[in-house]
Homo-oligomer: A and B are copies of this chain.
Amino acid sequence: MTSPLSTLVNHQVRLASRPVGLPTAENWHFGTEAVAEPGDGGVLVKTLALSLDPAMRGWMNEGKSYIPPVGLGEVMRAGGVGVVLASRRPGFAVGDFVGGGLGVQEYFSAAGDEVGRSGLAKIDLRLGTLTQWLNVLGMPGMTAYFGLLDVGQPQPGQTVVVSGAAGAVGQTVGQLAKIKGCRVVGIAGGPAKCEWVVRELGFDACIDYKAPAPAGAAHWDPVKDGLRAHCPKGVDVYFDNVGGDILDAVLARLARGARIVICGAISQYNATTAVQGPKNYLSLLVHRARMQGMVVFDYAERYPQAVAELAGYLKDGRMKSREDVVEGGVAAFPEALNRLFSGGNFGKLVLQVARV
């Protein structure tokens, strides 16, 4: 941070073309540009770490969604944390730690209106580490908090099921549901994740959707069988991060009046044919249940309340977090992102871009 700004080079990852199926190297363009002085009312931020999220796949597609797509040639959209190197904006001083929409680049330099759009805000490292600010105290945590509590509305004693249980959103959903007095069953891929979710996070059970069939098994459906075993009274709240067959399996096990929170559908994001619709959706009728979508940005005004509550749980030890930190800077972004779609990450996936 002692270099003069004019000597800094900003390595960036831009969207070169729109993927069909899983993103490949040719969808990305690596570029460099000089670091610009911040514009009027702006700041210059050095990126320290970036959040890699399943939602990024959707932002790469053309067409209307809850947020405009990333334009071809633009720096890929990403949330991140960093440190202020220069400021022409009241409330931001050199050396402040900040979080917001920094993009997949080493430096975020912006004028005032762009800073506003990026949602840049100071972060307090007494409440959580830098990577926790991308996890429990960041978008995944906010998504978990408002999705579970506002949309899912779990009551003490009810059964909450969450898919992607060891992932960023899932880990907070499950622990928060336990804190609120629910029985919690996770769904995750592989014994390591399932064991961590139960032993470390305190879930009541975790179903390994990748579990291999025992030798000689005539019938094998680990999710269906696991739900039957672990949710004898049915599922009151299902927090869905994955869609596909797992959503259908849970639909078949709903309790009366169940709430399904549609947060994402990672199993479908790289589909090259039509999305797999939930063929068991008429279970909503049989069980007087509802399925409801949510977008975390709608709750922005209430983030401080959620951050305060979640930081309290981190402090008193009732909530743990796990981040899977990939080294290698922005050059490692394309490969790191794709780990989300194979389930290769264990915990919130973070790309380390620089050290403080």
Number of A residues with CB within 8 Å of any CB on chain B: 33
State whether B285 touches A281 (Cβ < 8 A): no
Say yes or no: is A343 at the interface (Cβ < 8 Å to chain B). no
Say yes or no: is A278 at the interface (Cβ < 8 Å to chain B). yes
Q: Is the interface of A mostly helix, strand, loop or mixed?
A: loop
Say yes or no: is A287 at the interface (Cβ < 8 Å to chain B). yes
Among residues 262 to 307 in chain A, which have CB atoms less than 8 Å away from a CB atom of chain B? 262-265, 268, 274-295, 298
Measured CB to CB, the closest approach of chain B to A252, in angstroms, equals 10
| Contacts A290-B293, A291-B290, A292-B290 given; does A264 touch B285 at CB 8 Å | yes
State whether B284 touches A292 (Cβ < 8 A): yes
State whether B288 touches A289 (Cβ < 8 A): no
Copies in the complex: 2
State whether B275 touches A280 (Cβ < 8 A): yes
Measured CB to CB, the closest approach of chain B to A154, in angstroms, equals 16
State which of B276, B277, B285 has its C-beta within 8 Å of the C-beta of A294. B285
A280 partner residues in chain B, CB cutoff 8 A: 275, 277
Residue of B whose beta carbon sits closest to that of A243: B282
Residue of B whose beta carbon sits closest to that of A263: B285
Among residues 234 to 278 in chain A, which have CB atoms less than 8 Å away from a CB atom of chain B? 243, 248, 262-265, 268, 274-278
User: Could you jot down 17 A-B contacts, CB within 8 Å?
Assistant: A64-B286, A66-B286, A66-B287, A243-B282, A248-B277, A262-B282, A262-B284, A264-B285, A265-B282, A277-B278, A277-B279, A286-B293, A288-B293, A288-B294, A288-B295, A290-B292, A291-B291
